[in-house]
Amino acid sequence: MLAGRLYNPADPELTALRDKSADLCTRFNATSRADHATRTAILDELLPGHGKNLDILGPVFFDYGCHTTIGDRVFANFNFTVLDCAPVTIGDDVLFGPNVSLLPPMHPLRWQDRNVRQAPDGSMYDYEYGKPIVIGSNCWFGGNVTVIGGVTIGEGCVIGAGSVVTRDIPPHTVAVGNPARPIREITDKDASALQYYAQ
C-alpha cells in the first residue's frame, strides 16, 4: 500500500489499523477542548510522527494516522480529514482552515478494475492505490481546500479557500481555483502594513 501499488483495503492488518485510528479520532472528538492532557495523549498515539505544539481543534478524521508526519507548530481547524493510505508529510508552521481534506487514495479509472469483487474466502473488497502528499513549511490553507494524492506544495504557499489542488504548486505562491492554479508569487511587498503591532 505504502509503495503506491494496488492493494486490498479489506486486508485484516489494514482494517485493524483503520479501526484503531477511528477509535482514537472518536475519543479525541468526544473529549472536551479544556481537557488538554487527554487530547494531547490521544494525538500522541494517533499521530506518533507529529512535532511540537500540534494544535487540532477537531473533529478530526485520519484513516491511519501512523502514515502522517507533521512538523512543529501546526494548526488544523474544524473537520481536518487525512486519508493517509500513502505517506502524508506536513512541514513546520502550517495552518489548515476548516474542512481541509488531504486525499491520497486513488481508484482505478476502468470500472472493470474498480468495482467490488469477492475474495476466495467470500469477503468483498475493491482495489485502491495511494499517492503521497508533501506540504512544505509555512503554508496556509483556506477553508474547504482539497489536496489530491501525488501533489507537492512548496514552502510558503497560500492555497485559497475552496481550491482543489491536483498538481504541484511551486514555493511562495498563491494558488486558487478548481483545479488550483498559481496566480502570483508571494514577495516582500505582501508584508502586512500593520505587522509592527505583532512584534
Catalytic residues: 107
**Closest to 101 in 3D by CA, of 117, 84, 89:** 84
Confirm if 101 and 146 have CB atoms less than 8 A apart. Answer: yes
**Cis geometry, peptide bond prior to residue 179 (ω within 30 degrees of 0):** yes
- The grid cell for 116 is 467490488
- The grid cell for 161 is 479557500
- The grid cell for 21 is 485510528
Q: Is residue 13 helix, strand or coil?
A: helix
Residue found under cell 501533489? 151
Amino acid at 149: G
